[in-house]
Amino acid sequence: MNAQIIAVGSELLTPLRVDTNSLAITERLNAVGIDVRLKAVVGDDRTELARVFRQAIAQVDLVVLTGGLGPTSDDVTRDAVAEVLRLPLDEDPAIVERIRQRFAARGWQMPAINRQQGQVPRGAVVLPNANGTAPGLWIEHGAVMVLLLPGPPRELMPILDRVIEARLAPKTGGRRLYRRVLKITGRAESHVEERAQPVYVRWRDAEPPISTTILAALGQIELHLALISGDRARAGEALDRAVGELVAALGDSVYSTDGRTLEQVVGGLLREKALHIATAESCTGGLLASRLTDVPGSSDYVDRGVVCYSNRAKVELLGVPESLIAEFGAVSEPVAEAMARGIRDRAGVDLGVGITGIAGPGGGSEAKPVGTVAVAAAWGALTMVKTFRFIGAREQVKHQAAQSGLDMVRRMLLAPPR
Residue 373 host element (H or E)? strand 372-379
Q: Determine if 396 is a binding residue for its own copies (CB under 8 A).
A: no
Question: Rounded CA gap, 257 and 279, in Å?
Answer: 26
Size of the site for its own copies (CB under 8 A): 71
Q: Determine if 156 is a binding residue for its own copies (CB under 8 A).
A: no
Minimum distance, C-beta of residue 417 to its own copies, in the bound complex (Å): 24
Using the CB atoms, write b or e for 270-283: b if 16+ within 10 Å.
beeeeebbbbbbbb
Minimum distance, C-beta of residue 126 to its own copies, in the bound complex (Å): 28
Q: Determine if 284 is a binding residue for its own copies (CB under 8 A).
A: yes
Minimum distance, C-beta of residue 123 to its own copies, in the bound complex (Å): 29
Choose, by CB under 8 A, the member of 289, 325, 338, 385 that binds its own copies.
289
Choose, by CB under 8 A, the member of 93, 107, 198, 296 that binds its own copies.
296
Q: Determine if 114 is a binding residue for its own copies (CB under 8 A).
A: no
Q: Determine if 285 is a binding residue for its own copies (CB under 8 A).
A: yes
Q: Where are the beta strands (DSSP E) in 79-166?
A: 89-91, 119-121, 125-127, 136-141, 144-149
Our CB check for its own copies shows the closer of 348 and 417 to be 348
Q: Determine if 42 is a binding residue for its own copies (CB under 8 A).
A: yes
Binding segment (CB under 8 A) for its own copies, from list 19-27, 69-77, 138-146, 250-258: 19-27
Residue 66 contacts by C-beta under 8 Å, 6 or more apart in sequence? Answer: 5, 6, 7, 8, 19, 21, 22, 25, 149, 150, 151, 156
Choose, by CB under 8 A, the member of 261, 293, 387, 396 that binds its own copies.
293
Minimum distance, C-beta of residue 305 to its own copies, in the bound complex (Å): 4
Question: Rounded CA gap, 24 and 5, in Å?
Answer: 11
Q: Which of residues 297-316 bind its own copies (CB under 8 A)?
A: 297-299, 302-310, 312-313
Q: What amino acid occupies position 415?
A: A
- Smallest CA-to-CA distance from 404 within 380, 388, 393, 391 is with 388
Q: Which of residues 242-271 bind its own copies (CB under 8 A)?
A: none
Our CB check for its own copies shows the closer of 252 and 316 to be 316
Contact 45, 83 (CB under 8 A): no
Our CB check for its own copies shows the closer of 30 and 115 to be 30
Contact 19, 7 (CB under 8 A): yes
| Number of other residues whose CB lies within 10 A of the CB of residue 323 | 8
Minimum distance, C-beta of residue 298 to its own copies, in the bound complex (Å): 7
Minimum distance, C-beta of residue 296 to its own copies, in the bound complex (Å): 5
DSSP state of 164: I
Q: Which of residues 209-228 bind its own copies (CB under 8 A)?
A: 213, 215, 224
Question: Rounded CA gap, 159 and 394, in Å?
Answer: 42
Our CB check for its own copies shows the closer of 97 and 131 to be 131
As a whole number of Å, the end-to-end CA separation of the chain is 57
Q: Determine if 332 is a binding residue for its own copies (CB under 8 A).
A: no
